[in-house]
Amino acid sequence: MVQSFVNFEGQVCLITGAGSPAGIGFSTAKILGNLGAKIALTATTDRIFDRVRELEALGITAKGYIADLMDRGQTADMVGQVVEDFGEIHVLINNAGMVQVGQEEDFSEMLNITYESWDISINRNLTLCFNVTKEVLPCLVKGNYGRIVNVSSVTGPIVSNPGEAAYSAAKAAIIGMSRALAIESGIHNITVNNILPGWIETASQTEAEAAAGLNTPMKRSAKPEEVANAIVFLASKEASYITGEALVVDGGNTIQEYKGPSDLYY
């Protein structure tokens, strides 16, 4: 039997935004759990308990928590409960953001965007990540070990789209925040890295996004588990000397100059 390159035996992994059965968060949870981790999952609705049951059916130890992570009180309570239930936290995957059940995204251009819409997008896609990290960080420092992986996006740090000024600003800011934290926490054996997905075949993918995926060099969107595999490596003990980095997972989309229909160029 070939030994697994990475394993998470004895580690507790907290994954936010893991309520969707076809999302990056839940795909990451399954891989980490199958590699020996104990899993704490969060979402804003009780569908998180369906994900927990699915993990338990695979023989994975898991617990689910409902919290609005834009609310700092709820965030603190959630992290406190995870520590009470599991005793410690070793890995944090900040996956929550982009969309939230029961809320619609606002794609207004800068000229027409409301202050309220801007604030909501920044809170959901940047401040939320800060809130969770701020609460988990003392646990990692106390244990003198930790892995933090933030799910940012190519949108913002590398490219952008009309109507996504707030989203782009937030996702770019996560990279800057991560670099500062990587410098501050390296002495505690904590690494902080970012995954920048491109077009991903999730339940929330639109028709236009799916079409864009067909025009990448890979001629398809990524499956959630393909992003999750990159997250898992950066969350592993083996990724011990990688910190402050931003790993693009986009099938080569951002390296190609021409992004139109292939029959007009390739």
- Active-site amino acid positions: 167
Q: How far apart are CA 70 and CA 161, in angstroms?
A: 25
Residues 20, 102, 73, 121, CA torsion sign = positive
Starting at the earlier edge strand, list the strands of the sheet with 38-43: 62-66, 38-43, 12-15, 91-94, 146-151, 190-197, 246-249
Distances (CA, A) of 31 to 68, 224, 226, 227, 240: 25, 11, 11, 11, 19
Name the region of 222 (left: φ>0; alpha: ψ -120 to 50; beta: rest): beta
Element (H, E) at 38: strand 38-43
- Choose among 158, 178, 177: nearest CA to 168: 158
Q: How far apart are CA 186 and CA 144, in angstroms?
A: 10
